[in-house]
Structure 1
Amino acid sequence: MTSFLNHLITFVADHAWLGYLTLFLAALLEAVPVVGSLVPGSTIILALSALVPGGELKLWPVLASAAAGALAGDGTAYLIGHRSQREILSAWPLSNYPRVVDQSVTFFHRWGMLAVFFARFVPPIRAFVPITAGALGMPPLQFYGVNVPAILLWAPAHVLPGVLAVTALHEYAGMPHHEHVGKHLWMFAVAGAALILALAVWTIRRRHGGGFIEPGRPAE
């Protein structure tokens, strides 16, 4: 994986358009049921975000590409579930992951609309909850009303850590501390909010026993 990412970063550094396309596809595929459990979308997004401080990629297009891919992936999965209803949950390939599907249904029933929000930050359920929400009849307005804000927070939470890390590595030594912090204060604020949300999701999962297994693990 490290070798793959190194080659990808090197190539993208010379072809910015491919970087934005890769970010879009990584976010999209990560939201596809089953496929999302196999594609290291978050890792790819974090790695490519490290190219922002050097100027190879631009921050806002990176955020937009990741958010658009996630919206397309979640939206497509939801619409498939909404049109097929419950039958899709027992159809191939979901039929190969009955335990994960059952846990996704339980998670949705427990948290309702908030399940769509929390799932965006918790792999591998983010690849299963949108289609489950559609299959269980969640109205489109409710789904997108929760999904869009979640994605708008999820994208910075995945992009900004890489940006901040590389920025700190290259700039702290040559820029006055107060100037650097002022320049990137909004990044720290969003990253901090994302960290707090992640801790909240982790606490909820532990308190309510809502942990999810990875696809492919046999049911006990």
Structure 2
Amino acid sequence: MTSLIDQLIGFVSANAWLAYLTLFLAALLEAVPVVGSVIPGSTIILALSALVPGGELKLQWVLLAAIAGALIGDGSAFWTGHRAQKEILNTWPLTNYPRVVAQSEAFFRRWGAWAVFLARFVPPIRAFVPITAGALGMAPVRFYAVNIPAILLWAPAHVLPGVLAISALHQYAGMPHHGLGKHYWILTVIGGAIIVALAAWTIRRRHGGGAIEPATKQSR
């Protein structure tokens, strides 16, 4: 395990652009309806941000990749809905997820512009609210006035915990800044367990205890 982790860190160090591309795609795909509900983008961003303190990745580029991906992802979803209008909410593959679409629509109608801001921090609704906002006729200027500040807060909120956790271990637990070795997999396992637990709790709380699943013929 130690050798595999060391090899992974060495690979990222030598091919940092792939890590930044992965961060970008993770943030972008989280905003794609349906796809964003299953892509563990937040987990990927948090995991890769843990490589910042060791110098394998640069904080400013990690943040930029996450911000750019989220902006393009949310913007693309919004404009898709804006151009197609409400009809897109009744087309495939959204028709396979009527409950989530209905929840997103109700969430947007209740909170208005605030729904765009809040949804950025609530998986998996954030994969549906931008397209819903566009489909329901939200003005582009108003959308970006809320979406951009939300993303500028969302990115540090996902990146900095990993950076701070590793930095704290460097400082207080005596971990070296390079060659994290056998300690790194322990942190990975603990961090992954916490993330999965929080994600499951959030999904159950927001969606009545069930995961997002396609509608069956009986439920239609």
Q: Which residue of 1 aligns with 2:182?
A: none
Name the structure 2 match of 1:215: 212
Q: Which amino acid aligns with 1:32?
A: V
- Structure 2 residue aligned with 1:192: none
- Whether the 8 Å contact between 2:53 and 2:166 is mirrored in structure 1 is yes
- Partner of residue 133, structure 2: 133
Measured after TM superposition, the shift of residue 34 of structure 1 is: 0.3
Does 2:29 match 1:29? yes
Please state whether the residue corresponding to 1:48 is helix, strand or coil. Answer: helix
Change (3 A) 1:143 1:108: same
Letter in 1 for 2:164: L
Alignment of 1:115-126 (within 5 A): 115-126=115-126
- Alignment correspondent of 1:169: 169
CA contact (8 A) 2:96 2:215 kept: no
> Is residue 108 of structure 1 aligned with residue 105 of structure 2?
no
Cα distance in 1 between the residues matched to 2:14 and 2:55? 11
Would the alpha carbon gap of residues 39 and 5 (structure 1) be closer, same or farther in structure 2, given more than 3 Å must change? Answer: farther
Corresponding residue SS for 1:83 = helix
Q: Counterparts of 1:136 and 1:99 in 2: how far apart (Å)?
A: 17
Work out the CA distance in 1 between the residues paired with 2:103 and 2:66. 27
Unaligned runs of 5+ in 1: 175-201
Work out whether residues 96 and 214 of structure 2, in 8 Å CA contact, stay in contact via their aligned partners in 1: no
Deviation at 1:12, TM superposition (A): 2.2
User: Do 2:82 and 2:137's aligned partners in 1 also have CA atoms closer than 8 Å?
Assistant: yes
Counterpart contact for 2:21–2:65, Cα < 8 Å: yes
Shift in alpha-carbon separation, 1:93–1:28, aligned structure 2, 3 A:
same
Rounded Cα–Cα distance in structure 2 between residues aligned with 1:147 and 1:135: 16
- Is the contact made by 2:28 and 2:69 (CA closer than 8 Å) also made in structure 1? yes
Q: Structure 1 residues 29, 136: closer, same or farther in 2, change over 3 A? A: same
Identity of aligned residues (%): 71
Contact 2:31 2:127 in 1 (8 A): yes
Query: Structure 2 counterpart of 1:215, which letter?
Result: I
Match in the other structure for 2:153: 153
CA drift of 1:128 comes to: 0.1
Moved over 4 A (4+): 4-10, 210-213, 217-220
Q: Does 2:12 align with 1:12?
A: yes
Higher relative contact order (CA 8 A, sep 6+): 2
Residue 83 of structure 1 corresponds to which residue in structure 2? 83
How many Å separate the matches in 1 of 2:50 and 2:126? 24
Indicate the RMSD between aligned Cα atoms, in angstroms: 2.5
Q: What is the alpha-carbon distance in structure 1 between the residues aligned to residue 86 and residue 9 of structure 2?
A: 41
Q: Is the 8 A contact 1:37 1:214 kept in 2?
A: no
List per-residue Cα deviations over 1:11-68 (Å, max 9, x = no partner).
3233111111110000000110000011110000000000000001000110010010
Greater fraction helix: 1
Q: Distance in 2 between matches of 1:117 and 1:145?
A: 10
Q: Distance between the aligned counterparts of 1:125 and 1:37, measured in 2?
A: 8
Partner of 1:46: 46
**Count of residue pairs brought into register by the alignment:** 186
Change (3 A) 1:34 1:10: farther
Q: Give per-residue Cα distances to partners, 1:62-99, cap 9 Å, x unaligned.
A: 00100100000000000000000001001011010011
Name the CA shift for 1:9/1:39 in 2 (closer, same or farther; >3 Å): farther
